[in-house]
A and B are shown apart, each in its own frame.
Chain A
């Protein structure tokens, strides 16, 4: 660019089109693009021609066909009698997303706690956290999964003598049979109260921040929030006559009936994924906090800030900038690692769609293509969200 500008300024005669670097660049790019498109098209055509030549079925006609096999966990209504392979895909996807989402939440909480514990001044706390990180980080995830699964299975009792957790339901090696909440007619009022509580709290916290910036006066936002978000709905709930009943599981037969079931595969998978990823997150958190110069703490203390506000207002906001990018890759790892679920029969996307459905239809190219695109989309969505959050947390330069 700079060279070009100079040449124009000097007013030299225009170079031949052929020699213009800008046009040349464009030509090269277009040629490359055409070649790539050509290769992709030829590759795909070749693949389908060969599949046809070998009498292997192709295309997406199978999506609407009846799948005819059972799935042990489904967030949607799934019936083996009527549901199609398309439904199998959705059920598998939801199972993957639910384990990944809950796993990420759990891993983040656990990881932050352990990461902070690793910096503790207390020798025992620090030691325990270090041992945790070293053990969990250095054993392959598949072994974690097997240990949790078979370990948990062997510890749990047979359904005939289920462990009774009281109001939490029953626990045995067929899973956790939790009471199922059955909202009654007036329950929606409580739900509305909850939502209103959240919205009002957000407004109050904004208002209080502005007021503090102007006048320096503080407002007990936290306790007001607790009152609004928790207290108000509870009050409404009691006033409307506790419109929530529970369907308790009843022991008997091969396994308890009623209630809702959380299968042991889900529990084992969740524990394995979150405890494993938490070890990595702990190290990221530790690194992030240590990356904040000690002078910042000293300066905050010198300004009279106590330990809590120093951590909350000075150290963590700066540490987050270091933490978020590697944290994003841990989230992506956890999501992708959830595909190991196939080893212990958790019905995730890989197990039911890229597994059973693939085998029943034999259409490896289509099914694996769709599965790969799905994981790609999940990862890109997670990354996009984290990038947005990162931009929000980035250092605002004034």
Chain B
């Protein structure tokens, strides 16, 4: 804890001293460091989680690798900084990380009061509840009087407050700083309910002693658009982040995959040509090479591939695409055209 506070204070101190440097071009900083510094969670399976060998994996991690691939043509030129929910914004404000890709909900106050810019939504989520099966509860509306475990410093605290108030229900909130302690306390029976983003519930359920004994209730009580965040005042960097995501969406829509990206280079489809840089100068417009999108897809694949690999139906999380499907498949993911 002391270390935490220290880092926040150090961050603020750095912020006050190095404010000039922070507003300089992030892309130049990144190039001179020869790596992208990416803020991720402290371990959320499917989104950002170290595997047995200590390599970071997950949807948010793949996004950072895609950014590195777009800039350097090398997805390994990225360094990860695990951050708690509490530390994340200060770390980005102070320049400790270049991009925050940490299942962070886009809200108006965060977007306007913190000196930060939310770029895109790489996962549409909503807050849900998980309970023990033997509790016999089938709906969140039966939870009046329950004890609820969650994380501090998240939107979930406020959502749950609003939801219970709107439905005239009582509850006791037990808020921990780290996700691991929330899981441990819920597992130990301190709470009846564990609440966080629904994707997080599926992910954290894997850490419980008996994952099969718990169910996620059907209610979704909030909109949680999750996506990467950057500092305000650097439009070029914001564009790189935005178009990294859009390139992955366009690739999926156009059927460009990690496996066929090389043969797609000789495609006659003008949209594919513009995406892969065989036509036009779109990379130069965001300060990158013309093969930026090719490098992204070569390195991590298109959006659908990263989704399936990290959180999709064949993974332990088994999350279906749902609202995260492409716009023409009934979802919300919509990549503006590259032209």
A interface residues, Cβ below 8 angstroms from B: 43, 46-47, 50-51, 53-57, 68-72, 80-81, 142, 149-150, 153-154, 156, 158, 173-174, 253-255, 257, 263-265, 339-340, 342-345, 347, 350-351, 354-356, 358-362, 364-365, 368
Whether, in the assembled complex, B113 has its beta carbon less than 8 Å from a beta carbon of chain A, the answer is: yes
Residues of B within 8 A of A354 (CB): 5
Q: Judge whether A68 and B115 touch: CB under 8 Å.
A: no
Q: Judge whether B188 and A255 touch: CB under 8 Å.
A: no
Number of A-B contacts (CB under 8 A): 153
Shortest CB distance B89–A (Å):
6
B interface residues, Cβ below 8 angstroms from A: 1-2, 5, 8-9, 11-12, 15-17, 19, 22-23, 85-86, 89-90, 93, 109-110, 112-115, 143-147, 149, 152-154, 157-158, 160-162, 165, 171-178, 181, 184-185, 188-190, 192, 231-233
Q: Judge whether A355 and B9 touch: CB under 8 Å.
A: no
Shortest CB distance A201–B (Å):
42
* CB nearest neighbor in B for A81: B165
CA gap between A158 and B173 in the complex, in Å: 17
The residue that B174 contacts in the complex, of A46, A68, A345, with Cβ under 8 A, is A345
Q: Judge whether B147 and A255 touch: CB under 8 Å.
A: yes
Shortest CB distance B133–A (Å):
14
In addition to A255-B172, A257-B145, 4 A-B residue pairs with Cβ atoms within 8 Å of each other are A50-B19, A72-B175, A351-B177, A360-B153
* CB nearest neighbor in B for A341: B1
Residues of B within 8 A of A254 (CB): 143-147, 192
CA gap between A342 and B189 in the complex, in Å: 19
CA gap between A81 and B147 in the complex, in Å: 18
The residue that A174 contacts in the complex, of B22, B113, B143, B147, with Cβ under 8 A, is B147
Residues of B within 8 A of A340 (CB): 1
* CB nearest neighbor in A for B117: A55
Do A56 and B173 contact each other (CB < 8 Å), given the known contacts A174-B190, A342-B1, A354-B5? no
Shortest CB distance B143–A (Å):
8
CA gap between A340 and B2 in the complex, in Å: 8
CA gap between A392 and B74 in the complex, in Å: 72
Residues of B within 8 A of A362 (CB): 89, 109-110, 113-114
Q: Judge whether B157 and A345 touch: CB under 8 Å.
A: no
A-B contact pairs, 15 of them (CB 8 A): A43-B16, A50-B16, A54-B22, A57-B113, A72-B172, A72-B175, A173-B189, A257-B145, A342-B152, A343-B176, A350-B5, A351-B177, A356-B157, A358-B86, A360-B158
